[in-house]
Amino acid sequence: MKGLGQGAELEASVEHGHHSGMWVPGAPPTWGRMFLPHLEPWSVLAVLSVVGVLVYLAAVVRLRRSGASWPWWRTVAWIAGSASLFAVTGTWLNGYSMVLFSVHMAQHMVLSLITPLLLLLAAPVTLALRTLPRGRGPAGAPRALLLEALHSRFARFVTHPLFTVPLFIASLYGVYFTPLFDALMGSPLGHQFMLAHFVVTGLLFFGPILGQDPWPRTLSHPGRMLELFLPVPFHAFFGVAIMMSASLVVRTFTDPPAGWGVDPLRDQGVAGGIVWAFGELPTVLVLAVVFFSWAGSEERRGRTLDRAADRDGDAELQAYNARLRDMAARTQH
């Protein structure tokens, strides 16, 4: 496309065609084209990302008008998470992901690792509980329903590590090493379901580990770290398996558009490398959040004990020392 002006370039690439009813750009991918906005009737997640930002900002404004504060960095995290969701579902990248395995895998990694982490750091459930009206009746129904959902048996089931960890692993092996991926990519509805599945899986897996919101199940900080590291070897092995495969893993990306100069097997190797590389940064980020949360909780616990000691004259320590003296006296007798 060299030598063409930007307008002619866009016009030439608007209608390459549809892949199973889904739009695919006509020009090969470049960094300049990758994030050009493109919405279509099936851009459900992209639209939700925009709506989510508006609702979140409205909630923050309402909370601050009531006199309460809200950390600015949580708002930034929500906007960044929503932007990452739009960037991979509401742009040309989504179109390229229909025909290039490497682009699809980058989309998958963002949706399952980056977007959920940013959205969870924004503590949307806490914000909702602080801004939704309390009380009985229609006005208080949304808050009551949210609390009921958080404490439901279903929520406890889908947030249990025995469910979230296998689901996280199955999102790789169960999707790509079975006919499921080709079946889902064969229809717009199936494609949207798969993308939504990646996001929900990430939210369910990282939610109790980050612990920024009220969650149906709570884990100790060592338990969070253990759960975080459980899928890491499976994630890394999957990336290596994709990279080392001598044949194409899925049929969807067998025939990239002619003239793009794409070798499907080499592109598959790039996709595997993206999986392998992507696992490191989110893990380190979450580990840092859990570690500092752990340190902060220990510090708060220490301050609480100090205040209690000041109030009762360190009665607990004195009672402990008295028991030791009593035990020593009995031993001597």
| Beta partners for residue 18, in sequence order | 23
- Burial of 155 by CB count in 10 Å (0-12 exposed, 13-18 middle, 19+ buried)? middle
Record the tokens describing residue 104, joined without a space. Answer: 């699809």
Considering just the CA atoms, what is the radius of gyration of the chain in Å?
Answer: 25
- Rounded to two decimals, the pTM is 0.82
Give the pLDDT score at 179.
94
DSSP state of 91: B
Contact (CB, 8 A) for 100 and 28: no
Nearest to 171 by CA among 208, 196, 207: 196
Give the pLDDT score at 246.
92
Nearest to 35 by CA among 48, 47, 21, 25: 25
Nearest to 80 by CA among 42, 44, 120: 120
**Whole-number Å distance between alpha carbons of 188 and 281:** 31
Reduce the DSSP state of residue 230 to 3 states and report it: coil
What is the CB neighbour count within 10 angstroms for residue 95?
25
With residue 23 as reference, give the H or E element that holds it.
strand 22-24
- Burial of 231 by CB count in 10 Å (0-12 exposed, 13-18 middle, 19+ buried)? buried
pLDDT means per 10 residues, the chain with 333 residues, are 40 45 87 93 94 97 94 97 97 96 96 95 94 83 90 92 93 94 92 96 92 84 84 90 94 91 95 88 79 66 50 57 65 62
Give the pLDDT score at 307.
53
CA angle at residue 79 from 73 to 85, to 5 degrees? 135
**Whole-number Å distance between alpha carbons of 138 and 64:** 24
Sign of the dihedral defined by the CA atoms of residues 175, 176, 182, 185, in that order: positive
Contact (CB, 8 A) for 62 and 131: yes
Nearest to 235 by CA among 165, 160, 184, 291: 165
Give the pLDDT score at 220.
81
**Whole-number Å distance between alpha carbons of 294 and 219:** 11
The per-residue b/e assignment along 251-289, b for 16 or more CB within 10 angstroms, e otherwise, is ebbeebbeeeebeeeebbbbbbbbbbebbeebbebbeeb
Cα 142 to Cα 33, 51, 121, 160, 270: the distances in Å are 41, 18, 22, 25, 45
Residues 6+ apart with CB under 8 A from 271: 101, 102, 104, 105, 242
Chain Cα centroid distance, residue 149: 20
Contact (CB, 8 A) for 122 and 75: yes
Per-position DSSP letters for 107-142, written without gaps between them: HHHIIIIIHHHHHHHT-HHHHHHHHS--SSSGGGHH
Give the pLDDT score at 325.
66
**Whole-number Å distance between alpha carbons of 210 and 235:** 19
